[in-house]
C-alpha cells in the first residue's frame, strides 16, 4: 500500500515527520500489516545498507573477484594474481577518492576499500525510485500481511489505514490521507460486481415476468417457475463452490443467465399440455426434444471444464450443472401439478415462408455469414473483465507519480526451482539485455563456488598482506583499513555458507520495497526485474516472462481463448451428434443447422458492424448455439394441430433474449459482449423457427 499524507501549508517539517512516523508505527503494529516505513526517514535504506555491509564479502565479493580474474586473464601480467589484484584494488581506490562522489563515501571506504558497496549503489539505484521532494507531503510505504485479493487483505487493511490516519492527525489535525494498492481495486470491483449481480438478476427476472404476462392469461402460474429457477441457480452455486475452493465473481454475473434459461424447459413442458393426456404420456412425447436440448447444452458447457482458464472452467461447471438440475427440478416439480395450465394467448402470427423460398434464402444467408466471418478481428484484453473505476485509477496514478513510480518500463519475472537455477537464468538474461533486478545483489552459484574453493582461499590469504603493502606504498596510513583487514581475515577463516542457505537467509531479510522483488514458495524461486518499455524477452531467457503493462497478459489470455475455441468445436461436434441420435441423420442435421447458422450470422453481423471479438464473444457463441439448438429441437417436435409448443418456443426465446439483453447493459465490457452475442443468436434462431426456414414440412 502507498500512502500520501498531505498537511496544510506552513506545517512544520518536524511536525509532519512526527505524523508520518505515528502513521507508520500504527500500521506496523497492526496485524494486517507486516511493515511500514516513512520514506523520508530512509530507515529501510539504512537497514538494507547494514545488511549488505555485514554480508558484503559473501554476497558482493565473489562477483568482484570473478571480474578481476577475467581482467587478469585478458591482461596476462607477469605478477602473480594476488600481487596484481592488490595493485588493481589500490588503483581503483585512488581513482574513486579522486572523484567528486568520494565525499559521500569517506566513512564507508575504510571498511570497504574494495568499493563493493560503492559500485553496487549505482547498479541498484533503479530498484527503488526516489520520490520528488514536497514540503507538505509525507509518503508511507507499507506491506500487507495477506494478499490483496483475499478478505483478510482488504477490510482489515482499510481499518488499519483509518486507525493510522487518526494517529497521524494527533500531530496534524487537518492532515489529509490518500492510499492506493491492489486491495483498493479488488474491494471496489467486488462491491461494484455485487451490485451489478443484484441489478442484472432483478431486471432479468422482471423481464421474464413481463413477457410471460403478455403471452399467458393466468399470470399467477408464473410463481410455479420460481422453484425451478431457484433449484437451477442454487444447485449450480452449490456444485461450483463444492468443486472449486475459490470461484471467480464473474461466474455468478454470467450465471445470472440461468434465470432465463432454466424456465425454458418449464415453458415447454406446461405449454405442451394436451387434454386427456397424462403427465407421463406428455413426458414420453417430449422426451426427445427435452433430452436433445438439455443434452447439447450440457455437452457444450461440459467441454469448457477442460479449459486451462479457471474462470472458463468454473463457468462450464456452473452452467452444465445448472442445466441438468433445472431440467430435473422441472420434471419433478410439475409432476405435482400435472393439470397446471397457464392458458396461453394464441397470438395470430403467420410468418411461415413458402417451401420453395427456403432454400434460396438459406443460400443467401449462408453467403452473408461467410462474408461476415472473413471480417472477424480478435483481440483479448483483460481490462474487459474489470468493472470501470476511472476515479480510483486517476488517484492511483497520482499517488504512484508522487512515489516516483511510472509505467515507462517493462516488468519481468524469472523463475527457477532453486535459488541457483533462478539466479543463473537471470544472469543469462542480464548478459544479453539491459535489465535491473534484485538478483544483482547476489552472485551466481558458479561464481560463488569459484570464490569459496580452497585454492581461491589460499590466493586470497596472500592477497591480504599484498593489499596492505600496496596501500602503504600508495601513501595510505598503515592502519587506515584495519577494519577491512580484520573482517576479511574472519571471512577467509570461516567455513563458506552453503549457497542456497545464503541466498534464502539474505533475501528473506530484505527490507522495504525490495522485499517484494523476490519470492520463494513450494513451486520455486522468483526474481523480479525491470527493462525498457519496448523490451522483448529473448528466446535464450529460459524461465523469464514479461509481466509489463497489459499486452503480455493479453497474449496469455489469447492462448486461453484459442484453447476455448477448440473446446467449443468439441461441444458443437457433440451437438451435431446428439441431434442426429435424437432425430435421425436427416432431421438431425437440419436441427443442428439452425443454431449453427444463427451463430454464424450473429458473428457476421457483429463483424460487419466493426466489433472486435474476444473470449467472451466465443463463450456467448457457445451458449447461443446451445440455446438455439433447444428451440430447433422443439420446433422439430411441433404439431400444427397443437400450437402450444410454438408458443412455448416464443416465450422461451423471448425471455432468454431479454435476460441476455439485460447483460448488454452491464458496465463490465466482457459481460456486455457476451450478452450482445447471445441476444443476437437467440433472436435469429426465433426468426428461423417462426419462418419455418429449416422445417421439413411444406407448410406450418
**3-state per-residue secondary structure call for 333-399:** HHCCCCCCCCCECCCCCCCCCCHHHHHHHHHHHHHHHHHHHCCCCECCCHHHHCCCCHHHHHHHHHH
For 113, phi then psi, to 5°, come to -70, -15
Residue 249: inside a domain: yes
Residue 285 confidence (pLDDT): 83
Q: How far is CA 221 from CA 213, 272, 366, in A?
A: 10, 15, 41
Instruction: Say whether both 71 and 207 belong to one domain.
Output: no
Residue 342: inside a domain: yes
Instruction: Say whether both 199 and 310 belong to one domain.
Output: yes
Residue 609: inside a domain: yes
Q: How far is CA 199 from CA 204, 346, 652, in A?
A: 8, 32, 22
Q: Which residues pair with 5 in a beta bridge?
A: 138, 177
For 7, the grid coordinates are: 498537511
Residue 520: inside a domain: no
Residue 124 confidence (pLDDT): 60
For 240, the grid coordinates are: 461450483
For 497, phi then psi, to 5°, come to -75, 140
Instruction: Say whether both 295 and 375 belong to one domain.
Output: yes
Residue 213: inside a domain: yes
Residue 581: inside a domain: yes
Q: Give first-to-last CA distance, the chain, whole Å.
A: 67
Handedness of CA 191, 193, 196, 197 (dihedral sign): negative
Contact 289, 268 (CB under 8 A): yes
Residue 25 confidence (pLDDT): 94
Instruction: Say whether both 228 and 136 belong to one domain.
Output: no
DSSP secondary structure letters along 532-588: ETT----TT-TTEEE--TTHHHHHHHHHHHHHHHHHHHHHHHHHHHHHHHHH-HHHH
Instruction: Say whether both 260 and 319 belong to one domain.
Output: yes
Residue 654: inside a domain: yes
Instruction: Say whether both 224 and 87 belong to one domain.
Output: no
Contact 626, 296 (CB under 8 A): yes
Residue 36: inside a domain: yes
Residue 700 confidence (pLDDT): 41
Residue 125 confidence (pLDDT): 57
User: Apex CA 323: angle with CA 317 and CA 328, to 5°?
Assistant: 125
Residue 342 confidence (pLDDT): 77
By residue range, what is the domain housing residue 356? 185-384+552-690
Instruction: Say whether both 93 and 219 belong to one domain.
Output: no
Instruction: Say whether both 153 and 204 belong to one domain.
Output: no
Instruction: Say whether both 193 and 327 belong to one domain.
Output: yes
Average confidence (pLDDT) per 10 residues, the chain, 700 residues: 92 92 94 88 73 88 93 91 93 88 78 85 61 82 88 93 95 93 87 81 80 78 82 91 85 66 78 82 84 79 80 86 90 88 71 79 90 86 74 87 75 90 91 84 92 92 92 89 92 92 90 81 88 74 72 66 76 80 80 89 91 83 82 68 64 82 84 88 90 63
Residue 644 confidence (pLDDT): 47
Q: Which residues pair with 179 in a beta bridge?
A: 3
Residue 698 confidence (pLDDT): 44
Instruction: Say whether both 195 and 117 belong to one domain.
Output: no
* Domain count within the chain: 2
Handedness of CA 614, 615, 621, 623 (dihedral sign): negative
Q: How far apart are CA 598 and CA 664, in angstroms?
A: 19
Instruction: Say whether both 580 and 595 belong to one domain.
Output: yes
The reported pTM is 0.66
Instruction: Say whether both 102 and 245 belong to one domain.
Output: no
Contact 651, 658 (CB under 8 A): no
Amino acid at each position: 500500500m502507498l500512502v500520501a499524507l498531505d498537511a496544510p501549508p506552513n506545517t512544520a517539517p518536524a511536525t509532519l515527520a512526527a505524523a508520518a512516523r505515528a502513521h507508520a508505527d500504527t500500521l506496523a503494529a497492526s496485524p494486517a500489516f507486516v511493515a511500514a516505513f516513512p520514506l523520508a526517514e530512509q530507515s529501510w535504506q539504512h537497514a538494507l545498507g547494514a545488511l549488505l555491509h555485514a554480508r558484503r564479502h559473501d554476497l558482493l565479493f565473489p562477483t568482484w573477484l570473478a571480474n578481476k580474474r577475467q581482467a587478469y586473464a585478458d591482461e596476462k601480467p607477469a605478477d602473480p594474481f594476488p600481487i596484481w589484484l592488490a595493485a588493481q584494488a589500490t588503483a581503483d581506490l585512488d581513482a574513486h577518492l579522486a572523484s567528486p562522489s568520494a565525499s559521500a563515501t569517506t566513512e564507508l571506504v575504510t571498511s570497504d576499500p574494495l568499493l563493493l558497496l560503492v559500485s553496487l549503489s549505482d547498479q541498484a539505484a533503479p530498484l527503488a525510485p526516489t520520490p520528488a521532494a514536497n514540503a507538505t507531503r509525507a509518503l508511507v510505504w507499507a506491506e500487507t500481511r495477506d494478499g490483496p485479493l483475499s478478505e483478510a487483505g482488504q477490510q482489515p487493511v482499510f481499518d488499519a489505514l483509518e486507525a493510522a490516519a487518526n494517529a497521524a492527525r494527533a500531530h496534524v489535525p487537518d492532515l489529509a490521507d490518500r492510499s492506493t494498492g491492489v486491495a483498493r481495486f479488488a474491494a471496489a470491483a467486488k462491491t461494484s460486481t455485487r451490485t451489478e449481480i443484484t441489478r442484472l438478476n432483478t431486471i432479468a427476472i422482471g423481464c421474464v415476468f413481463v413477457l410471460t404476462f403478455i403471452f399467458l392469461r393466468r399470470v399467477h402460474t408464473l410463481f410455479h417457475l420460481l422453484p425451478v429457477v431457484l433449484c437451477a441457480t442454487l444447485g449450480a452455486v452449490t456444485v461450483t463452490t463444492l468443486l472449486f475452493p475459490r470461484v471467480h465473481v464473474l461466474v455468478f454475473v454470467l450465471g445470472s443467465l440461468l434465470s432465463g434459461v432454466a424456465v425454458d424447459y418449464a415453458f415447454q413442458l406446461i405449454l405442451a399440455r394436451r387434454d386427456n393426456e397424462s403427465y407421463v404420456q406428455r413426458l414420453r412425447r417430449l422426451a426427445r426434444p427435452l433430452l436433445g436440448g438439455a443434452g447439447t447444452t450440457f455437452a457444450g458447457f461440459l467441454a469448457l471444464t477442460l479449459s486451462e482458464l479457471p474462470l472458463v472452467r468454473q463457468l462450464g461447471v456452473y452452467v452444465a450443472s445448472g442445466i441438468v438440475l433445472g431440467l430435473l427440478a422441472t420434471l419433478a416439480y410439475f409432476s405435482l401439478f400435472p393439470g397446471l395450465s397457464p392458458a396461453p394467448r394464441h397470438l395470430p402470427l403467420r410468418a411461415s415462408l413458402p417451401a420453395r423460398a427456403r432454400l434460396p434464402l438459406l443460400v443467401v444467408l449462408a453467403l452473408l455469414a461467410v462474408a461476415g466471418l472473413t471480417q472477424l478481428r480478435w483481440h483479448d484484453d483483460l481490462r474487459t473483465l474489470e468493472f470501470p473505476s476511472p476515479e480510483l485509477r486517476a488517484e492511483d496514478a497520482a499517488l504512484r507519480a508522487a512515489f516516483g513510480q511510472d509505467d515507462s518500463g517493462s516488468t519481468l519475472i524469472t523463475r527457477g526451482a532453486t535459488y541457483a537455477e533462478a539466479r543463473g537464468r537471470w544472469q543469462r538474461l542480464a548478459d544479453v539485455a539491459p535489465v535491473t533486478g534484485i538478483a544483482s545483489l547476489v552472485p551466481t552459484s558458479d561464481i560463488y563456488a569459484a570464490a569459496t574453493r580452497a585454492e581461491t582461499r589460499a590466493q586470497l590469504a596472500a592477497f591480504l598482506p599484498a593489499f596492505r603493502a600496496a596501500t602503504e606504498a600508495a601513501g595510505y596510513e598503515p592502519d587506515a583499513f584495519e577494519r577491512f583487514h580484520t573482517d576479511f581475515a574472519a571471512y577467509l577463516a570461516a567455513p563458506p555458507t552453503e549457497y542456497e542457505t545464503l541466498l534464502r537467509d539474505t533475501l528473506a531479510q530484505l527490507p522495504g520495497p525490495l522485499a517484494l522483488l523476490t519470492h520463494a514458495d513450494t513451486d520455486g524461486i522468483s526474481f523480479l526485474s525491470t527493462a525498457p518499455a519496448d523490451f522483448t524477452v529473448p528466446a535464450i531467457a529460459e524461465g523469464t516472462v514479461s509481466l509489463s503493462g497489459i499486452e503480455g497478459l493479453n497474449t496469455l489470455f489469447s492462448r486461453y481463448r484459442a484453447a476455448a475455441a477448440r473446446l467449443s468445436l468439441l461441444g458443437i461436434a457433440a451437438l451435431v451428434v446428439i441431434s442426429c441420435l435424437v432425430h435421425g441423420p436427416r432431421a438431425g442435421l437440419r436441427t443442428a443447422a439452425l443454431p449453427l447458422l444463427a451463430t454464424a450470422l450473429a458473428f457476421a453481423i457483429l463483424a460487419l458492424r466493426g466489433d472486435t471479438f474476444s473470449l467472451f464473444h466465443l463463450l456467448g457463441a457457445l451458449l447461443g448455439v446451445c440455446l438455439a439448438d433447444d428451440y430447433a429441437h422443439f420446433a422439430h417436435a411441433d404439431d400444427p394441430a397443437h400450437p402450444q409448443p410454438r408458443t412455448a418456443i416464443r416465450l422461451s426465446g423471448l425471455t432468454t433474449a431479454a435476460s441476455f439483453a439485460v447483460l448488454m447493459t452491464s458496465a463490465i465490457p466482457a459481460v456486455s459482449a457476451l450478452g450482445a452475442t447471445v441476444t443476437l443468436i437467440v433472436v435469429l434462431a426465433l426468426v428461423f423457427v417462426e419462418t419455418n426456414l429449416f422445417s421439413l414440412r411444406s407448410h406450418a
